[in-house]
Amino acid sequence: MSPPLLEVDAVSRTFVQGGLLAGRRIRAVDGVSFTLANDRPEIFSVIGESGSGKSTLARMILALLPPSEGVIRFEGRPFSALRRRRDRLAFMARVQPIFQNPFAAFNPLKRVDRYLFATARTFTGATDRETAARQVDEALRRVGLSLAEVGGRYPHELSGGQLQRVAIARALIPGPRLIVADEPVSMVDASLRMAIVNLFKMLRDELRVSIVYITHDLATAYYISDRVIVMRRGRVVESGPARTVLDAPTHPYAIELKKAVLSVDAGPAALDAALAAQEEEPSIAR
Amino acid sequence: MNAAATFGEAPRPAAAAPVVEIRGLRAWYRTRRFGIVRDVRAVDGVDLEIAPGEIYGLAGESSCGKSTLVKTVAGAVRPPLEVLEGTVRFRFRGGPIELYGGRPVDLRAVRWKHLSYVMQGSMSVLNPVRRVERSFVDFAFRHIGEPLPVFRRIVEEHLARLHLEPAVLRAYPHQLSGGMRQRVTIALATVCRPDLVIADEPTTALDVVVQKRVLAMIREAQRAIGSSLLFVTHDLTVHAALCDRLGVMYAGRLVEEGPTRAVLREPLHPYTRHLVASLPRIGDPSPRDGLAGAPPSLAAPPPGCRFHPRCPLAREFCRTSVPPLVPVGGGRRVACFVAAPETVP
Structural domains for chain A: 6-258 (3.40.50.300)
Residues of chain B where predicted confidence (pLDDT) is lower than 50: 1-14
3-state secondary structure of B162: coil
Residue type, B24: G
Terminal-residue alpha carbon distance, chain A: 54
pLDDT at A163: 87
Residue B299 DSSP one-character state: T
ipTM over 0.95: no
**Parallel, antiparallel, or unpaired for β B20-33 and A235-241?**
unpaired
Asked if residue B80 has a cis previous peptide bond (ω within 30° of 0), the answer is: yes
Question: Counting beta carbons within 10 angstroms of the beta carbon of residue A25, is it exposed (0 to 12), middle (13 to 18) or buried (19 or more)?
Answer: exposed
Alpha helices (H) along A125-159? 129-142, 147-150
pLDDT at B270: 93
Name chain A contacts of B279, Cβ cutoff 8 Å: 190, 219, 264
Contact by Cβ (8 Å): B151, B214: no
Spell out the residues 6+ positions from residue A22 whose beta carbon is closer than 8 angstroms to its own: none
CB contact (8 A) between residue B282 and residue A268: no
Which of A143, A264, A278, A283 to probe the B interface (max B CBs under 10 A)?
Answer: A264
The model scores a pTM over 0.95: no
User: Would the pLDDT of A205 be above 90?
Assistant: yes
- Cα B160–chain centre separation: 25
pLDDT at A21: 66
| A191–chain B nearest CA distance, Å | 6
Name chain B contacts of A248, Cβ cutoff 8 Å: none
Q: How far apart (Å, rounded) are the C-alpha atoms in residues A206 and A199?
A: 10
pLDDT in tens, A63-119: 999 999 999 999 988 988 888 888 889 999 999 999 888 888 888 899 998 889 999
pLDDT at B5: 39
Contact by Cβ (8 Å): A43, A224: yes
The residues pairing with B258 across neighbouring beta strands, listed in sequence order, are: B246
- Per-residue exposure over A69-100, b if at least 16 CB sit within 10 Å of its own CB, e if not: ebebbbbeeebeebeeeeeeeebbbbbbbbbb
What does chain B come to in residues?
A: 345
Split at pLDDT 50, 70, 90, the class of A160 is confident
Which of A183, A245, A284, A286 to probe the B interface (max B CBs under 10 A)?
Answer: A284
